[in-house]
Chains A and B, each alone.
Chain A
């Protein structure tokens, strides 16, 4: 195909619109699809970023006709949309919406899916381009991926009418529950889809955030010179949620906080903060640098001293009385699954030797926040009396990931007055106003990237496996324990986590 004369790299007003295609969502009736995917697709349509003739196909076990599916999708889109509601946009979207009901191992249903897609290729003009979104429990991946292969839907070259057609697959975390299972899962997917067609997504870590971190680190002269063990004392990476496990008992119990979040989200954040400058910002160069960090990161030598795990118990969270983890629906009374996990990770590179990275994650903590705090060493000499600097802490640079994405710089300043007294102050920058109103939500960016075929910034299987290599010994150590620590809901975690920091002469930041 020749290049389009109306497009020009200098023409930055024109949005990148995906080519004609359809997206097939497996598990369209699920929580994620209804809360995130359908609204994101509506928002994309509303911003005019979907191709004319985009089709959305829902596949689920539920039994409804197209009509009721339409109502469900509309209600979901209306409830979750971030842009204004326009009936005309919805009507155009709904015209390309189809539902295929049936179980994932039902041959008839797969036949219906195939004929639906063939029909859309012809009528809606999707031209054989299809993205498959597996919004289903990981246990069903093998079934669905295998069916995609057997039905011939996984490969585009079977239909000579559309020589340039593509097929892509999106899978959500968790990518396995340990190194072994991650490898198995990857094998299943890799047999059917080439690695550039597989989009592994971590919805906590949007592309926007990744690019913000990259821009902050590598577009500025100010921060990189101190971004190493000469100046940095340690790094704390926190993801705290104020909610409990809600309705996810079936998924969560037996998985736990470390597998759910540390393995993917926190390890990725760590890699982005710790990596060297990539030679370019394409997906491959970025991946190379992240992999170097993950390959050099080690779990603590003393797993008993530098890890902590706990469960929340009954308590008051944000002014509301809430039950403990064991009281949640569907959780066995003897469950040892952790809802809080903290580990120390050391990175064996010249830049980071001697600078521990502390990763912690938890549910029912003080408030909802994700941040990376780079804590600096104290000034080597303070020409003040110890009284003057009593309230001076360590300088810190905090990359706030959510909810209020931005950067906080914490440093000492003199308290106005005749007495020399130095106290910590914060300087804040919020991406807030400037970009947030219009910046697409993580799922919008993701879906658009999939449709455009933009090589994902998301991890490929090597990174997934390296992350498991770090976490596996920790999880095995925990699996040998007969008890688990606890913390009251609404607090900042168990005493064992504080003790783990105290052993190193440090303490957790209150985010």
Chain B
């Protein structure tokens, strides 16, 4: 069921939400979190699609916030969707005028009681996510460096303002690589003496991988730049031989560890919804991410 409200306010929206929920037989009262998606007209469609797919795994109240022009009289339009297809509720707010500077005031009354709040910027995120008025509503803040015009630079900026609860989606994208590398070292007895990442320059996931490996292994990781937007290969050197993982075709990778032949393993590219689902599985601070960006910033200075 879908309801459109023009020139409205938060209490009116809350009232309509209750009405809509009753009308559709109180579905999904077991919503577990509120997900605020701060976006603009160019990112809203993809972002909300991912968020609603996600609510199959984490029934959520999804609040899409489109920030319009910040000048002129304040105005708020809302579109409410309850029940059909999604297992949670979604509210799309379109803010304009001076309200844009106080967007959190429209969102605060709509948060689910008690349960965690997550804010996600699918596009350009603020430099200081936890200092941002919207970010301050949340205990978990998701940025996406790859959506920024200068990804690595943005990643560093956000990292400098790190507060527990922040993570970047490029870290989430890295999980399959990290899983394979950890699985490889499960099978290798001798310590890693060095390593190499083959990736395109300006790849934030690559930068994080380098920092993570250096931080965990205590060795220097070299970087070979190639013309690619992704990580293509990772090599870890040990006394027994090299661990090599290379991205192949069709969501596969070749995997070789000392002492066994080359094997093919899955390394699928995951959808935005799958990435978000991974992030929302744990709503506490990610200590390993924190250690990784700390290492990254230390290396810079």
Give A contacts to B, CB under 8 Å.
Answer: 1-2, 4-8, 10-15, 17, 19-20, 45-46, 48, 51-53, 86-89, 91-92, 95, 123-125, 429-430, 432-435, 437-438
Contact = CB atoms under 8 A, between A and B. Distances in A.
B266 A92 contact: yes
30 contacts: A2-B189, A4-B185, A4-B186, A5-B218, A6-B185, A6-B216, A7-B185, A11-B288, A14-B179, A15-B179, A17-B179, A17-B183, A52-B263, A86-B266, A87-B250, A89-B268, A91-B264, A92-B265, A123-B261, A124-B260, A125-B257, A125-B259, A433-B59, A433-B88, A434-B57, A434-B58, A437-B56, A438-B57, A438-B277, A438-B281
B179 A48 contact: yes
Given A433-B58, A434-B57, A53 B263 contact: yes
Nearest to B284: A12
A48 B245 CA distance: 15
B96 interface: no
Given A433-B30, A433-B57, A434-B30, A88 B175 contact: no
Interface in B99-127: none
Interface string B175-215: 11011111111110101100000000000000000000100
A48 B176 CA distance: 8
Given A5-B192, A46-B266, A434-B59, A86 B251 contact: yes
B73 interface: no
B252 interface: yes
A92 B178 CA distance: 20
Nearest to B260: A125
Given A6-B217, A437-B56, A88 B178 contact: no
Residue with the highest number of chain B CB atoms closer than 10 Å, among A2, A13, A45, A429: A13
A14 B179 CA distance: 5
Residue with the highest number of chain A CB atoms closer than 10 Å, among B58, B179, B183, B281: B183
A116 B15 CA distance: 67
A465 B250 CA distance: 51
Given A45-B266, A48-B176, A88-B252, A433 B287 contact: no
A8 B288 contact: yes
Contacts of B189: 1-2
B190 to A, nearest CB: 9
Given A52-B180, A52-B263, A92-B263, 4 more contacts: A8-B288, A19-B186, A53-B263, A92-B266
Contacts of B28: 433
A77 B30 CA distance: 33
A10 B30 contact: no
Given A4-B186, A432-B30, A434-B58, A48 B286 contact: no
A429 B30 CA distance: 7
Nearest to A49: B179
A88 B288 contact: no
Nearest to B87: A433
Contacts of B184: 52
Main secondary structure of the interface of B (DSSP, over half): mixed
Interface string B258-299: 011101111010000000011001100011100000000000
Contacts of A86: 251, 266, 268
Residue with the highest number of chain B CB atoms closer than 10 Å, among A2, A124, A125, A430: A125
A14 to B, nearest CB: 5
Contact of B266 (A15, A53, A88, A95): A88
B143 interface: no
Nearest to B175: A13
A5 B216 contact: yes
A6 B265 contact: no
Given A6-B217, A429-B30, A89 B266 contact: yes
Nearest to B54: A437
A48 B266 contact: yes
A79 to B, nearest CB: 20
Contacts of A88: 250-252, 266, 268
Nearest to B29: A428
Contacts of B172: 13
A14 B281 CA distance: 12
Contacts of A10: 287-288
B237 to A, nearest CB: 14
Contacts of A430: 30
Nearest to A432: B30
A20 B259 CA distance: 12
Contact of A5 (B175, B185, B282): B185
B1 to A, nearest CB: 18
A429 B26 CA distance: 12
B264 A6 contact: no
Interface string B32-48: 10000000000000000
Given A17-B186, A438-B277, A6 B268 contact: no
Residue with the highest number of chain B CB atoms closer than 10 Å, among A6, A7, A19, A91: A6
Given A4-B185, A5-B216, A52 B58 contact: no
Given A4-B185, A11-B288, A125 B57 contact: no
